[in-house]
Structure 1
Amino acid sequence: MEVKPITHHLFFVLLTATVRTQVNPEMCRYPLGMTGGQIQDEDISASSQWSESTAAKFGRLDFDNGDGDGAWCPDIMSEPDGLKEYLQVDLRSLHFITLVGTQGRHADGMGNEFAQRYRIKYSRNGSNWVGWHDRKGRQIIEGNRNAYDVVLKDLEPPIIARYVRFMPVTDHSMIVCMRVELYGCEWLDGLMSYSIPDGHLMIYRGLDVYFNDSVYDGTTAERLTKGLGQLTDGTWGLDDFLHSHIYGMWPGYDYVGWNNKSFPKGYVEMIFEFDHVRNFTSMKVHCNNMFSRGVRMFRQATCYFRSGSDWETEPVTFRPTVDRVSQIARFVAVPLGDRTASTIKCRFHFSDLWLLFSEVAFQSGKNNSAWVSFLSVPWDDPTHKVDDSNTRILIGCLVAIIAILLAIIVIILWRQVWQKMLEKASRRMLDDELTARLAVQTQAFSFHHSSLSSEGGSTSNSTYERIFPLCADYQEPSRLIRKLPEFAQSTEHLGRKEKTQSGGSEGAPHYAEADIISLQESSDSGTDSITPVNINLFAGTDSSMKEFPRHKLTFKEKLGEGQFGEVHLCEAEGMQDFLLEDLSIEGNKESPLLVAVKTLREDANKNARNDFLKEIRIMSRLRDPNIVRLLAVCVDTDPLCMITEYMENGDLNQFLNTTYRANNIASTYYIKLIGMAVQIASGMKYLSSLNFVHRDLATRNCLVGKNYTIKIADFGMSRNLYRGDYYRIQGRAVLPIRWMSWESILLGKFTMASDVWAFGVTLWEILTLCKEQPYSQLSDEQVIENTGEFFRDQGKQVYLPKPPYCPDRIYHDLMLSCWRRNAKQRPSFQEIHTLLMDISNI
């Protein structure tokens, strides 16, 4: 008797008993096993087959094992309605499916059959089948145009299913063949269906706001039954329910909602049915709380539990603190007290006129009572009866296996405890190692540092709820950075070079604070380091930069503080008369001029002083209407100061966030946003023409003047306001990782192509009005994991989504091209500027 399936399942139970579930469609995009072979041949079936060589088992995307004719083909002509022939995949458990891929049959040039269009049907139990349709009701999915290319299609909305059928559709009778793959992740909630009252209509200031569950896949009447829909689609509603994450949908689309007047008892009742008996720890409900429009989160939740035919008499009651101050939508966690059930009935009590939900998720583990059924029969055949003479032997073997597994777990946990203790002892050494590796690209483009104060603390070791499923080749972000072969080669090469330049000694990592640009000289690697030297500030082209009298600077406001200096807003008396003609700026000559003054602390080390002087030397050469200008310096005595323009409207991030509203982005305002992007592209085109690399391009580093004039600067690093935009590496180096290209994060490589990547993110910020941080749904560690996916280039990387109202031409032709893995394939700033100019002139 084989016990391997039982032990495998037991180990799986031990690993998943405490899994925390929260599906994110943007993360849940992993191949489920048609290509890789994890899905077995016996789990792939079909309505028919053309021949033995085109059986269902050959319908695997991009897979050729040498047998068969390379695809599944039905034995008769496909019918135009696409409702008869199908290829079926059994995933063995519920999965959250977000993406499908199809391919035709070419059989090394001997075949040319493919499905131009197809439908999808799915089932969670194998008996009730549902036809998939998109959010606008369309069922037909556009397929292949040739037999070779793989065509990937997002399922919007995603589906939750165990069984999936691909059903080819043709315009006329023809032979079709298909190879397929499913992408997603396991549905750990175990939720099979929910039953809720149908959503209501709100009339708000003459506007119809529909709160119906428009993608529900069960029976719809006055009450929705035996299905799943928007409460499990992974899309959370916005703070303002009149707007939606999904472009072009009606007001209220993201939410399912009810009016208090229709419920005399004062509550909405929902019933949730699961795949088996589970121990429930909590339920998370995403609620809207815009009380200015009569919407509040629920006042009380009362949940009843059922494992058999009758409901338990003692419910769990939870009363959250109703927020009467903030109108931000949020998840409310309802503790369920480890209650055991296969069905849960919850009553949510109104605390205002309306109750709006956009997502419900459960955290649970399998019920221990299910182990009884395990010990009596093998897992792969639940109908098999065990011979009485072998029952005792089987139970004894299983108990021994369980004991061994528990012992292994205890040993692993004990080793982890000791490992953490050892890590604490060697933490300082690891910090220095990682910081040195990240900073080794040094003098030309050293990494930014920040002055996170003690109350902020280090975030490098913070825990987070993992969205990426762990796979065999997973490595923690910090180890991923250190172990990539390209990174090791890069650091080894530059390490030898730095050692030679420093006379053989390994000095501390070279410091460079938030420079606006770094000089990039031509070399094989594309980035050459420059040895710090004592700079004659007024030599050559720098002779025009004058020493401004310190006593004429009047402190007005501290803009921010870095690790080695501060940035102040000051009034400069007589600056207009002081400036040369080519540096003159608009303003009343009789009034003091507002300027930004960047200072270097008196106790800064030699490397910091050299970098500061080098930055002055470089900035003094820049003359472009879209680059902030260096006006004067104070370097005769400490502290060293550089005086630059200050734009009266502040930085672009805060300007967009406070000036515009999301519903105003269309029409006239959209043209202004593109005009801002044109100016940034123009400034970057100028920098790239001089082979300068910015390294921190973002809206926080662009200043806004009169008439929407935009100038690129570098002050965002110093502002406490943007502390969250920078990720602290082992408590020391800080990086703007959400704007950085994958090669900059993993290889420490900064080029004009990495600036192009950052421009794509900056453009995304502009078109979203800076209402959220890039990759706001990801933790810093997950952002680094995602850059690892760009490096591996296996189709698992996550891109920033298309902003609302953003034309396809800008998103697909410009933004996505800025984020190409191959840096050489990204557009130049000349090309970006030309494209944006063409769009702005339309």
Structure 2
Amino acid sequence: MFSAHCRYALGMEDGRIKDDDITASSHWYETTGPQYARLNREEGDGAWCPEGQLEPSDSQYLQVDLGRLTFLTVVGTQGRYARNSGNEFARAYRLNYSRDGLLWKSWRNRLGNAVMEGNKNAYASVINDLHPPIITRYIRLIPVTRVSTTVCMRVELYGCPWEDGLISYSSPEGQPMNPPGYPIASFNDSTYDGAHERRRLFGGMGQLTDGVIGLDDFLQTRQYHVWPGYDYLGWRNDSLGTQGYVEMEFVFDRRRNFTSMKVHSNNMFSRGVKIFSSVSCWFKPRLIAGWEVESVAFKTVLDDRNPSARYVTVPLNRRTAKSIRCRFYFADIWMMFSEISFQSGNKSTHTHVGYHYLKSTSLTSVPYPPAANPSTSEPPDDGNTPILIGCLVTIILLLVIIIFLILWCQYVCKVLEKAPRRILDEEVTVRLSSCSDTIILQTPPVKHLFLLCPTACGGGYAEPDVTQCTPHQCFHSNAPHYAETDIVRLQGVTGSNMYAVPALTVDSLTRKDISAAEFPRQHLIFREKLGEGQFGEVHLCEAEGLPEFLGEGSPLPDRDGRSVLVAVKQLRADATSQARNDFLKEIKIMSRLNDPNIIRLLCVCVSSDPLCMVTEYMENGDLNMFLSQREIESTLTHANNIPSVSLSDLLHMSVQISSGMKYLASLNFVHRDLATRNCLLDRRLTIKIADFGMSRNLYSSDYYRIQGRAVLPIRWMAWESILLGKFTTASDVWAFGVTLWEIFTLCKEQPYSLLSDEQVIENTGEFFRNQGRQIFLYGPPLCPPSLFELMMRCWSRDLADRPTFEGLYQALRPHVNQ
């Protein structure tokens, strides 16, 4: 489903959609006009509010002119928060849309429902996917209510520019099929938004333009809760009379020079379905003109061996047209299409009916491509001979250039293969896509690197001087990309993260190297298993008599006579000798940490097996769980006793985390897994940075799995950590920016929640290339603009441009006292 990738902000929040392009049926005051209906913005009185009480029968609307045809896939809405003074929002809304501003259509989902769920409070944003997506220029949001009430809305729209220019297609209606032994299948165009007359479809668009490609078995669907055959528009030969073909007409926004057409067709010949045997197309340069006599004919090569659905490419010989009529001839009883694409030569624009693939455009800064000017259309060909000669010369030159580049690439690659394998303080050449796409990076000493890509994407492990894979390939080769020892070293023997420290601090250890006191293990009472790793487990325990055991200067807070909760990391009895040594190293590392915002090692049990280390644990658990169960403090939360936190609380938490990380950075310690799940909280809202998150099943979805094991928190990791395995204080700063984002969204969603793990990795490559197409996290509604600017600095491409933790602490601390 290509539409899953087409989810980029179209410009309400960042102002690319201008005030003049946002109108409304009415508004209360000038300060609640439509120009203030921008998601996450607080200008004016905070939102668009239609005039008066909204009644169930009203059709007040907010209208947005997108400036051009757009493939719209997602709508985000908020209410009027107005810096904690507003509490109006729309609990539901409908969508109307128009491609020309004259004919308006009502959007309905695939089950026929027109009403979308809206907001439940005034500040949280609600994201609704459009199934099916909409191809439109104008969009209206119409709030819906069951009772008389006041509503206000802020909006963001997500999608891609519709480069295809197709504005309608016409075809015969699809027919049902009743195959013996199978359920009845219906191949009608269920999302078609045009007219249905005399068993034909006119003037609209539907399932051939929704970006959903049908499966090999036409009875199976990519959608849930729909009927068999839903993904295809299909016709039976004998239902169309004796003509033996299906005639379709396509109308475009302007004249284009068409090079080819691609039709995705089913080919399950065992059930009487085949791709079309041939097709003939006629062209019309203007809508008021007649069809040109000369057609383009193409005969397909039928395949009776492979039943897979496939695209069939039909050459259109650069014919110029504003409208195309094609007749597709049957090769069997049935013919079924799920998508149709057209390739147009105008300005090298590739057009695709159903989806224009903007693979890596920023969610926050997607500029509109310049609008096409109809007057710039290329004139019809006056003669074929000069063009043919020009094409042949161009092809010959391109072949010569390609051959030269291939030879040059092979030469360079051979030179690099022979290059020294040492990269200490030397330049590293990192190849993300090909030998010609080369960027030079300055790298730290080799001890910081764990290369992710296998050599040439083909197996074995790459040396740390050259990687030749794309980010996607680096995580999808059959070969593992971290050696097993590296996985353990990153993960820690108990399944939690282990701090990266200078090598001199983790030399071989003995019991005398451990300064923590030996605690009687019989005084540890098991309460809950928090998580586990390959060689160890993490338990929540009560420690009897621990304050007395630690004596004066104990880091434990006053417990008011209650039992002391501790986290106990325990090594399994079957652990390897290397894991045992790593566990003792971790104890030595932990024993060096002494800061009010870092989890403390309290004592150990290492005189006998199993080896244990006992650390602090907070009664409020981790920050992610704490915040996700709360709302921002308001009169509503007080009146209804809803658990809440204030903006001041969030800022105080942020300062504490920056203080703890400042301390770690001063010791040259790198955390490698900073996130709210790894910040523990006591009843006084004191933060303690820990490393239990990776070991907990609750947060397994936050980690990218390699060979079925959760090891990499890619949504929090800097680009250099994912692509180069490079973990530094600067990469911790990146993760701190994501942690701030979590805090000010109250941990209501996962970072980059609209992207899959694979898309997050591909986006990492865009940060590396730094061509303005990387996707950033959006600004949380609760976050002050100055704080969001600080987050954006944390996500700077260049490590030197990111702030230090000392600088972050100094920047955040003044906010707490405001």
Q: TM-score range by the shorter chain?
A: 0.5 to 0.7
1:598–1:642 CA contact under 8 A, matched in 2: yes
Aligned residue in 2 for 1:51: none
**Equivalent pair of 1:753/1:826 in contact (CA under 8 Å):** yes
Tell me, in whole angstroms, the C-alpha distance in 1 between the residues paired with 2:679 and 2:356: 33
In the other structure, the counterpart of 2:805 is 829
Q: Find the counterpart in structure 1 of residue 7 from structure 2.
A: 25
- SS of the aligned residue for 2:540 comes to strand
Between the two proteins, the alignment pairs up a number of residues equal to 521
Structure 1 residue 26, shift from structure 2 partner: 2.7
1:723 is aligned to: 700
| Rounded Cα–Cα distance in structure 2 between residues aligned with 1:310 and 1:627 | 74
What's the CA shift string for 1:45-73, capped at 9, x where partnerless? xxxxxxxxxxxxxxxxxxxxxxxxxxxxx
* Deviation for aligned residue 1:25: 3.5
Question: For 2:512, which of 538, 556, 561 is the aligned residue?
Answer: 538
CA contact 1:649–1:655 (8 Å) conserved in 2: yes
* Alpha-carbon distance in structure 1 between the residues aligned to 2:173 and 2:678: 47
Q: Distance in 2 between matches of 1:657 and 1:278?
A: 50
Alpha-carbon distance in structure 1 between the residues aligned to 2:454 and 2:67: 39
Report SS of the residue matched to 2:615.
strand
Instruction: Confirm or deny: 8 A CA contact 1:557 1:570 kept in the other structure.
Output: yes
Structure 2 CA distance for partners of 1:565 and 1:668, relative to 1, 3 Å: closer
Aligned residue number for residue 633 of structure 1: 604
- Out of 547, 558, 561, the position equivalent to 1:587 is 558
Q: Which residue of the partner structure matches residue 743 of structure 1?
A: 720
CA–CA separation in structure 2 for the residues paired with 1:739 and 1:805: 20
Separation in 2, partners of 1:800, 1:740: 13
Q: 1:99-144 CA deviation, whole Å, 9 max, x = no partner?
A: 9989xxxxxxxxxxxxxx997799xxxxxxxxxxx99534999xxx
Q: Distance in 2 between matches of 1:551 and 1:791?
A: 52
Alignment match of 1:240 (pick from 106, 120, 130): 120
Q: What residue is the counterpart of 1:276 in the other structure?
A: 169
Tell me, yes or no, if the aligned pair for 1:619 and 1:629 is still in contact at 8 Å.
Answer: yes
Partner of 1:324: none
Deviation, 1:598, is 0.6
Q: Following superposition of structure 1 onto structure 2, how do residues 408-807 of structure 1 map, counting pairs within 5 Å?
A: 469=358, 481-482=453-454, 488=462, 490=464, 509=486, 511-512=488-489, 513=492, 514=495, 517-521=498-502, 533-539=507-513, 542-543=514-515, 545-587=516-558, 592-661=563-632, 669-732=646-709, 734-807=711-784
Supply the distance in 2 between the matched residues of 1:379 and 1:538 (Cα, whole angstroms).
89
Q: CA deviation at 1:777?
A: 1.5
Q: Note closer, same or farther for the CA distance 1:207–1:827 as it changes in structure 2 (3 Å cut).
A: closer
What letter corresponds to residue 309 of structure 1 in structure 2?
E
Q: Alpha carbons of 1:246 and 1:596: their partners in 2 closer, same or farther (altered >3 Å)?
A: closer
- Aligned runs of 1:259-274 on 2, under 5 Å? 259=146
- Is 1:187 matched up with 2:71? yes
Match of 2:814 in 1: 838
Aligned-partner residue type, residue 518 of structure 1 = Y
Classify 1:597/1:140 alpha carbon distance in 2 versus 1 (closer, same or farther; 3 Å).
closer
Letter in 1 for 2:592: R
Give the conservation status (yes or no) of the 8 Å contact 1:480–1:788. no
Q: Where in structure 2 are there 5+ consecutive unaligned residues?
A: 24-30, 39-61, 75-85, 128-139, 149-165, 175-188, 207-222, 235-261, 267-273, 312-353, 362-430, 435-449, 468-482, 639-643
Kindly provide the amino acid, as one letter, of the partner of residue 696 in structure 1.
Answer: D
Distance 1:791-1:254 versus aligned 2 partners, 3 A rule: farther
Look up the match of 2:197: 309
Aligned residues of 1:653 and 1:699 also touching (Cα < 8 A): yes
Q: Is the 8 A contact 1:767 1:803 kept in 2?
A: yes
Distance 2:814 2:806 in 1: 12
Distance in 1 between residues matched to 2:732 and 2:356, nearest whole Å: 28
Cα distance, 1:307 vs. partner?
A: 5.7
One-letter code of the match for 2:594? Answer: R
CA distance in 2 between counterparts of 1:206 and 1:741 reads: 38
Give, in whole Å, the separation in 2 of the partners of 1:466 and 1:26. Answer: 13
Matched, 1:137 2:41: no
Partner of 2:178: none
Sort the Cα spacing of 1:231 and 1:838 in 2 relative to 1 into closer, same or farther, 3 A.
farther
Distance in 2 between the 1:474 and 1:21 partners?
25
Contact in 1 for aligned 2:541/2:568 (Cα 8 Å): yes
Deviation at 1:768, TM superposition (A): 0.9
Q: Percent identity?
A: 41
* 2:700–2:710 Cα contact (<8 Å) kept: no
Normalised to the residue count of structure 2, the TM-score between the two structures is: 0.53
Match in the other structure for 1:375: 280
d(CA) in 1 for partners of 2:360, 2:749: 30
Query: What secondary structure is seen at the aligned counterpart in 1 of 2:625?
Result: helix
Tell me which of 244, 251, 257 is aligned to 2:144. 257
Per-residue Cα deviation, 1:130-164 (whole angstroms, up to 9, x for no partner): xxxx99534999xxxxxxxxxxxxxx99866657x
Q: Aligned to 1:511, what secondary structure does the other structure show?
A: helix
More helix by share: 1
Residue type at the aligned position of 1:534 = S
TM-aligned CA distance change 1:587 to 1:162, over 3 Å: closer
Counterpart AA for 1:577: E
Contact 2:547 2:554 in 1 (8 A): no
Deviations 1:560-591 (A, max 9, x none): 22222111111212211221534342335976
Helix, strand or coil at the partner of 1:556: strand
Aligned to 2:104: 226
Confirm or deny: 8 A CA contact 1:237 1:244 kept in the other structure.
no
User: Aligned Cα RMSD in Å?
Assistant: 5.6
Secondary structure, aligned partner of 1:737: coil
Query: Hey, what's the Cα distance between the residues in 2 that align with 1:744 and 1:279?
Result: 54
Tell me what 2:793 maps to. Answer: 817
CA distance in 2, matches of 1:553, 1:479: 41
Distance 1:379 1:753, change over 3 A: farther
SS in structure 1 of the partner of residue 620 of structure 2: coil
Deviations 1:462-498 (A, max 9, x none): xxx999656999979x99955799x9553679xxxxx
In structure 2, the CA distance between the partners of 1:254 and 1:828, relative to structure 1 (3 Å rule), is farther
3-state SS of 1:583 partner? coil
8 Å contact kept, 1:307–1:340: no
CA distance in 2, matches of 1:588, 1:471: 52
Kindly provide the amino acid, as one letter, of the partner of residue 735 in structure 1: L
Q: Which residue of structure 2 lines up, in the alignment, with residue 498 of structure 1? A: none
SS at match of 1:765: helix
Report the CA distance between 1:621 and its aligned residue: 1.0
- How far 1:367 sits from its partner (Å)? 10
2: CA distance, partners of 1:279 / 1:27: 36
Deviations 1:711-754 (A, max 9, x none): 00111111111111111023346211111111111110000011
Distance change >3 Å, CA 635–CA 778, structure 1 → 2: same
Alignment deviations for residues 573-616 of structure 1 (CA, whole Å, 9 cap, x no partner): 22112215343423359764221111111111122112111111
How far apart are 1:20 and its partner, in Å? 4.9
Q: What SS does structure 2 have at the residue aligned with 1:554?
A: strand
Partner residue of 2:49? none
Counterpart residue number, 1:359: none
By how many angstroms is 1:791 displaced?
A: 1.1
CA spacing shift, 1:652–1:236, aligned 2, 3 Å: farther
Cα offset, 1:536, TM superposition: 2.2
SS at match of 2:751: coil
Partner SS for 2:197:
coil
